Amino acid sequence: MDMPAKKLGLKERYAALTRDLHWDTTYQPMDKVFPYVSYEGIKIHDWSKWEDPFRLTMDGYWKYQAEKERKLYAIMDAFAQNNGHLGVTDARYINTLKLFLTGVSPLEYMAHRGFAHVGRSFPGAGARVACLMQSLDEIRHAQTQIHSMSVYNKHYNGFHDWQHMHDRVWYLSVPKSFFDDAVTAGPFEYMIAIGFAFEYVLTNLLFVPFISGAAYNGDMGAMAFGFSAQSDESRHMTLGLEMIKFILEQDPDNVPIVQRWIDKWFWRGYRVLTLVAMMMDYMLPKRVMSWKEAWEIYAEENGGALFADLARYGIRVPKGWKQACEDKDYLSHQAWNVFYNYGAAAPFHTWTPSKEDMDWLSAKYPNSFDKLYRPLWEHYTEQAEKGNRYYSKTLPMLCQTCQIPMFFTEPGDPTKICYRESEYKGEKYHTCSDGCKEIFDNEPEKYIQSWLPVHQIYQGNCFLPGTDPTAPGFDPLIAVLQYYNMNIGRDNFDFNGIEFGKGSEDKNNFEKWKAMSTGNM
């Protein structure tokens, strides 16, 4: 073996630790070693044209991440030891963390698996190494998020079984099926779905609201993992952008395939962000900005510039773009009403906005709030105060593609539910929008397999073993919540208590502990 005569420069060192790790196989043909690289129809002629967006070697990566990890754990220890959870604005805030832990952290883990899998699938060393690093980032994100939120599990309800819930609870099938859809696609579609559409186009609308939300509401713990992940996120964005440009530059036949994936994954990702919209406008006691403002900055301005840049490849804005921009006046309000309806069936608390909250919403949403949503919240509050809090006990119709209850409204008419219908092999399928219908119609074989929580409940697949649905007094909804492993009466119902006004355990404990930490009880 030739030993290098002198220390390598950064560039050579990078080449040695990435490109030099690749060889063309001879004992086995290359297409047997990389069996997934051609079936999606994407044509790559020259992997050496891949421009590494960041010249990071594995050993450099390791040192850099270890340093960040040390800082992060120091902050998390300090947060835990100083009862940092009592520094948050109020206990309503903690529900955003429950949403994050059950809905988002499991996706970080899936992203880890996804990038490991697609990295293995690419015959180009540059793309492979970049995917490997992202795969490691993602498992680190999953771990640090779980770790930093574990402190809340000691004190508050709903944090105890997030992975179990992610695989079962009705609304968590939305983020779960989103990622399952991506990891069951081919490697190139996965890269457009997660690397580009999610990490590049939409990630700011997921992380900025949660992490700024944490900062605004005094949660040092969640803020720390957000900042620790931030430098990784910019690397991920760069990888996503490099991947799409590389694919488009390799062959003009790739353009229509990529365009269809952009249309699909923009819409899939946008639907998942529904949960963020309601979190921003309704769940944060101290709000960062409205969903509408976030959408205007991160999607309309930044995304608009991105697609103007991609136009030279023949790529246009995603098909659902206009619709998504129109929906910004309605989305968060409609979504929070769903959770208010089903507040008995989710492992976090719901509530109606206070008078001050409503004034803020009215100022942020002058076109919609007073006319459409204020009468609803005022009615709910009035009824709840009379002991007549509304909980829906009947299961909703779900969209076959995004799996969200069919609450979305028609383009141009926020008072009319949008129904779309398809037929495949004699069976009817329902979707919530033109975007979801088109995704279904393009690949019905895939979406007829959707594990729709409502249908699964009616098929009897969501009860614990040994449950007897024929037993006298059998309550199917209670049985489903037991299957979810929810602590009924503690994790769910109104923030203000099952008996309205008496307070949920979280609310009462937080107020009591806070008083103990600031006075002499």
Partner 1 sequence: MTTAAIGKYDFAPMDSADKFPAPLLYFGWEDHLMMCAPYCVPFPPNLVFGDMLRGPFADIYGYHPDFAKIDWDKAEWFKSGKPWKPDYTKSLADNGLKHKDVIRFRTPGLTGLKGSCH
Would you tell me which residues interact with partner 1 (CB under 8 A)? 35-36, 39-41, 185-186, 189, 334, 337-338, 340-341, 371-376, 379, 388, 390, 392, 394-398, 405-407, 409, 415-417, 419, 421, 424-425, 427-430, 441-443, 445-446, 448-452, 454-455, 458-460
Nearer to partner 1, 17 or 185 (CB): 185
- We find the least distance from the C-beta atom of residue 298 to partner 1, in angstroms, to be 27
Nearer to partner 1, 162 or 408 (CB): 408
Distance of alpha carbon 270 from alpha carbon 291, whole angstroms? 12
Contact residues for 422 (Cβ-Cβ < 8 A; gap 6+)? 400, 428, 429, 430, 431, 437, 440, 441, 444
- We find the least distance from the C-beta atom of residue 144 to partner 1, in angstroms, to be 35
Provide the token pair at 296.
Answer: 């205007």
- We find the least distance from the C-beta atom of residue 265 to partner 1, in angstroms, to be 15
Nearer to partner 1, 188 or 246 (CB): 188
- We find the least distance from the C-beta atom of residue 312 to partner 1, in angstroms, to be 26
The answer to whether the Cα torsion of 57, 60, 66, 67 is positive or negative is negative
Q: Within 10 Å of residue 355's Cβ, how many Cβ atoms?
A: 10
- We find the least distance from the C-beta atom of residue 299 to partner 1, in angstroms, to be 25
Nearer to partner 1, 297 or 452 (CB): 452
> Which has the closest alpha carbon to 124: 39, 193, 188?
188
- We find the least distance from the C-beta atom of residue 127 to partner 1, in angstroms, to be 19
Phi and psi torsions of 273, nearest 5°:
-65, -10
- We find the least distance from the C-beta atom of residue 36 to partner 1, in angstroms, to be 7
- We find the least distance from the C-beta atom of residue 431 to partner 1, in angstroms, to be 11
- Residues 225 and 72 sit within 8 Å (Cβ to Cβ): yes
Provide the token pair at 206.
Answer: 């997921």
Nearer to partner 1, 286 or 379 (CB): 379
Nearer to partner 1, 376 or 498 (CB): 376
- We find the least distance from the C-beta atom of residue 358 to partner 1, in angstroms, to be 14
Q: CA 92 → CA 57, 166, 249, distances in Å?
A: 43, 21, 49
Residue with tokens 């919609």: 368
Nearer to partner 1, 460 or 501 (CB): 460
Q: Within 10 Å of residue 178's Cβ, how many Cβ atoms?
A: 22
- Residues 279 and 210 sit within 8 Å (Cβ to Cβ): yes
Provide the token pair at 39.
Answer: 């079936």
For residue 55, the 8-state DSSP code is: -
CA atoms within 13 A on the CB side of 219: 29
Nearer to partner 1, 36 or 463 (CB): 36
CA angle 510, 514, 519 (to 5 degrees): 150
Distance of alpha carbon 281 from alpha carbon 362, whole angstroms? 11
CA angle 234, 236, 241 (to 5 degrees): 95
Nearer to partner 1, 74 or 417 (CB): 417
